[in-house]
Homo-oligomer: A and B are copies of this chain.
Amino acid sequence: MKRQNVSDAVIRRLPRYYRYLDDLHTKGVVRISSSSLGGKMGITASQIRQDLSCFGEFGQQGYGYNVEELRAEIGHILGVDNNHHIIVVGAGNLGHALMQNFRFSDIGFKLDAAFDVSPALIGTEVAGVPVLDLAELERFASTQKPDVAVLTVPRSVAQSVADQLIVLGIRGFWNFTNVELSSAVEGVQFEDVHFSDSLLTLSYRIMER
């Protein structure tokens, strides 16, 4: 499927569609119109139709969408069936919490291992996933070929660890370091979770009231 020039705003809305459809599917809803889906999500029916039209033809005029089908299609567009192999780099508090709480497999990621430099963490397991010595990463990557890394290392080493991971073939970073990372290698993607930006946005909106 060709999908060039899909705007960032549309891409950011796709996971939200997926989340709503997944909920509806779980609740046993079989069919939904764009207007009732929009009503739930707080967007217009025409916005939904326009967003989805970037990726092909979905639903039937007057009949709405088949929830299970649309969920599967959007999941496919998002790559939930792509079986990405992901590693956690930095198994401190936050890395540990993500390993415990976040269900990577629900959205198609296989969490293979975590890496750290702390002797207290190396050799432990978190939620059944081994924490390995960062020094073993090169050997691990050569056989296991992880393609995505959760980066939860201290910000002082964020870029240097990222550089090392890029050399080992990592092409996607879920970046929690609060540092904006860059890559000399083309095609490497960074998805930043900037906690402080998020809380500052809330701070602004509280005052605006």
A53 interfacial by beta-carbon distance below 8 Å: no
Among residues of B, the one whose C-beta sits closest to the C-beta of A108 is B203
What is the predominant secondary structure among interface residues of chain A facing chain B? helix
In the complex, chain A residues 190-205 whose Cβ is within 8 Å of any chain B Cβ: 191, 193-205
- Closest chain-B Cβ to A151's Cβ sits at a distance in Å of 11
A209 → B minimal CB distance (Å): 4
Count of identical protomers in the assembly: 2
Q: Name the residue on B nearest A99 (C-beta).
A: B93
Q: Which of A72-80, A114-122, A137-145 contacts B (4 or more CB under 8 A)?
A: A72-80
Interface residues on A, range: 35 or more
Contact of A189 among B100, B196, B206 (CB under 8 A): B206
Query: Are B189 and A205 in contact, CB atoms less than 8 angstroms apart?
Result: yes
Enumerate chain B residues within 8 angstroms of A204, measured Cβ to Cβ: 11, 14, 77-79
The 3 closest A-B pairs by CB, nearest first: A15-B197, A191-B202, A97-B97
